[in-house]
Structure 1
Amino acid sequence: MTMKINTNTEALFGQRILGNTKNETDTILKRIASGLRINQASDDAAGFGISERLRYLTSGFEQAQSNIQDATSALQVAEGGLSNVSDSLQRIRELTVQASNDTLTDTDRGAIQGEIDQLVQEIDRQTSSTQFNGQPLLSGQFASGTGAFDVQLGPNEGESLAINIEKVNSSTLGVAGLNVSTRENASNALSSIDTAISSVSSTRANIGANTNRLESTNTYVGVARENTLSALSQIRDADMAQQSTLLAISQIKNQTGASALIQANLNSQSALKLLGS
Structure 2
Amino acid sequence: MPTVNGASINAASLQNSRLQQNSLNKLASGSNIPRASDAAASLAISTVLQSDTVVLNQNAATAAQGASIGQIADGGLARISDGLMRMKELAAQALGGTQDPASLQAINAEFVQIRDEVSEIANQTTFNGRGLLDNTDSSDFLVGTDVGDTISLDGVDVTGTALGISGLTVDTAANATTAIGAIDNAINQVSNARAEIGATVSRFEVAGENIASQIENVSAANSAIADADIAAQVTSLVTSKVLNEAELAVQAQANKNPQALLKILEG
TM-score (norm 1): 0.86
1:216 aligns with 2:206: yes
Answer yes or no: is 1:49 the counterpart of 2:39: no
- Report if the CA contact (8 A) 1:99-1:109 is conserved: yes
User: Is residue 133 of structure 1 aligned with residue 128 of structure 2?
Assistant: yes
| 1:72 matched residue in structure 2 | 67
Asked whether the 8 Å contact 1:37–1:239 carries over to 2, the reply is yes
Please report how far the alpha carbon of residue 148 of structure 1 lies from its aligned counterpart in structure 2 after TM superposition.
1.3
SS at match of 2:32: coil
Give the 5 Å matches for 1:191-270: 191-263=181-253, 266=256
- TM-superposition CA deviations, 1:229-250 (whole Å, max 9, x none): 1111211122222112111111
Counterpart of 2:22 (choices 24, 27, 31) is: 27
Pair 1:20–1:127, CA change in 2 (3 A): same
Deviation at 1:137, TM superposition (A): 1.1
Aligned partner of 1:123: which letter?
V
- Say whether residues 1:188 and 2:178 are aligned partners: yes
What letter corresponds to residue 202 of structure 2 in structure 1? N
1:165·1:203 contact (CA, 8 Å) conserved in 2? no
- Comparing 66-75 and 157-166, the one that deviates more: 157-166
Q: Which moved more, 1:127-136 or 1:245-254?
A: 127-136
**Which residue is 2:265 aligned to?**
none
Could you tell me which runs of 5 or more consecutive residues in structure 1 were left unpaired when the two chains were aligned. Answer: 269-277
Shift of 1:13: 4.3
1:106–1:182 CA contact under 8 A, matched in 2:
no
Within 1, Cα distance between the matches of 2:228 and 2:148?
35
In the alignment of these two chains, the number of paired residues is 258
Counterpart in the other structure of 2:264:
none
Q: What does 1:138-149 align with in structure 2 at a 5 Å threshold?
A: 138-140=133-135, 143=136, 147-149=137-139
Matched, 1:104 2:69: no
CA offset at residue 48 of structure 1?
A: 0.8
- Tell me how far apart the structure 2 counterparts of residues 28 and 35 of structure 1 sit (CA, whole Å): 10
Q: Match of 2:134, SS?
A: coil
